Amino acid sequence: MALLEDLFGLKGKTALVTGGGSGLGRVIAEGYAAVGARVICADIDLSRADEVANAIVASGGQADPCRLDVWNEDSVSASVESLGNANLDVLVNFAGVATPPTMTHELSTDDWTRGVGISLTGTFFMTRAMLPKMRTNGGSIINVASILGLGGYFPDFPASSVDYAAAKAGVIGFTRQVAVEYAAEKVRANVIAPGWHGGTRLGDGRRRERTAEEEERFYTEMNRRIPMKRRGDASEILGLALYLASPASAYLTGQVITQDGGWTAC
């Protein structure tokens, strides 16, 4: 047990998780707290951040809520100030948005700007702001891309949109550059590129605009495309996120790890 705790434990570490108020971000925040980290649960919706932080504390963990809009530099600066003099050991950039699926020639400038702004520029704002908190003692930056940042997908109807694909591909390039710039200072940066997972809020915009028949077509096509014939469960992201945050991955940086049920193996 001692070896496992040394490899995968986060006792005494501070982790900030953006998008930590729901979905995969919540799973990660609660999981990190369970292995000893003090977690700053950051979300644009403070009530959701409060709920997660309170649940962690009720379970015996350490957590603080933080209202954070990753696409707002003043909000990002305030999140740095909330750390005080403490260093940051783990930064998980999970906050993102998926605009309603549409063909590229129909995509509005507003949706493009919002999609790229939150998912890519927000990742830049947070990473830039938190790096000074990580350079002294090292740490792990975990950015979230998508399988759609690795290859296009069009099953004869819009299943996503180009702003999302572009932003997630950008996150990959951004992370690799950060990884090589700060590797000598023991700051690691890696990417999780999830496939289709349940338990997230990313599909809310799609679900609001599509009929039941269109949604059924979407689910059928997704399951057909995934070799495991199912979407991932939100809880299944934790093992990978814990590995990338912990000493177990001390020699890993600049990498993209997909968790997609075999999607990218096809």
Q: Is 62 helix (H, G, I), strand (E, B) or coil?
A: strand
**Residue 184: burial class (beta carbons within 10 Å; 0-12, 13-18, 19+):** exposed
Closest CA to 222 of 193, 261, 166: 261
Contacts with 19 (C-beta within 8 Å, 6 or more apart), sequence order:
25, 42, 43, 94, 95, 96
For residues 146, 151, 154, 159, the Cα torsion angle rounded to the nearest 10 degrees is 10
251 labelled catalytic? no
| Cα–Cα distance measured from residue 128 to residue 237, given in angstroms and rounded to the nearest whole number | 25
Catalytic residue among 164, 219, 243, 251, which?
Answer: 164
Q: What is the DSSP letter of 85?
A: T
Q: How far is CA 220 from CA 170, 213, 216, 229, 256, in A?
A: 29, 11, 6, 10, 27
Q: Which two tokens stand for residue 8?
A: 């995968």
| CA atoms in the 13 A half-sphere facing the CB of 138 | 11
| Cα–Cα distance measured from residue 123 to residue 91, given in angstroms and rounded to the nearest whole number | 10
| Cα–Cα distance measured from residue 228 to residue 238, given in angstroms and rounded to the nearest whole number | 19
Q: 240: part of which helix (H) or strand (E)?
A: helix 238-245
Residues annotated as catalytic are 164
